[in-house]
Structure 1
Amino acid sequence: MVSQFTHAARATHLEAVMRILRYLKSSPRKGLYFSKHGHLSVEAYTDADWAGLVTDRRSTSGYYTFVGENLVTRRNKKQNVVARSSTEAAFRAMAQDVCELLWI
C-alpha cells in the first residue's frame, strides 16, 4: 500500500515505512519458511478487481506464484490504463503473471 506513493512520498508515508521497518527489525524469527518437497511444479494464480478505485476507475491486478508448495512471488499493482471490461482487466493481470512465470 505504501509503495504506490514512492514517486511523491509525504511525511505520513515515510512514517508508515519506518513503522514497518521497526516491526520487521523487532521480529527476526518471523519470516517465510521454504519447505523441501520432491516436486518443483510451478503454479500461478491471478485475479483482477475491475475499476475498483472510485477516484480513477483503474483496475488492480494481483498474482501469486508458487514453486512446489512455496510462495515465491506475490504482487498487487494498479493497472496503467482503464479497462473497459472485467475480461480486459483479467487479461491484463494474466499477461503480467505470464511474464513473471517466463522469468521464473
Structure 2
Amino acid sequence: KWGWSEEEIQSAFRRQPYCMMLSEKNIMKTMDYLVNKMGYDPSLIAKQPGVLLFNLEKRIIPRCSVVQVLIANGLVKKDYKVGSLMYKCEQDFIKKFVIKYQEKVPHIWNAYQQMGR
C-alpha cells in the first residue's frame, strides 16, 4: 500500500528486524499518520524503519505535533527528518524542541503534554 519496492522492504527489515514483530495494523496506523498527516515520503520511512517501533500516541504524535507548531511559526524547516525526531531521548527532545522555543511559542509545552504525556 505504501509503494515500497521489494528492495525497500528487504532493506527495512535488514536495518530493523524488529519491525517484523509489529502487527500490520500498527504499521498501517503509523505509516498513515507519518505519510498522510505529516507528509513524509514512504521511501524515507523505509530508510529509517526504526521509527515504526515507537508508540504512535505516546511518542510519534506528540513530537510531530511540536514540530508542526514550530514549522507553522517558521522556527524549523519543513523537511525535518522523522528519525531525528524519534531517536532523541526525551530530555534531549524537550531541550531542543520545547524549551528552546518556549519564549517564542509559549503554548508549546502545554501542547506537547496534552498530546500523549
Into which bin does the TM-score normalised by the smaller protein fall? Answer: under 0.3
Greater length-normalized contact order (CA 8 Å, ≥ 6 residues apart): 2
- TM-score, with structure 2 as normaliser: 0.24
Structure with higher Rg: it is 1
**Which structure carries more strand by proportion?**
1
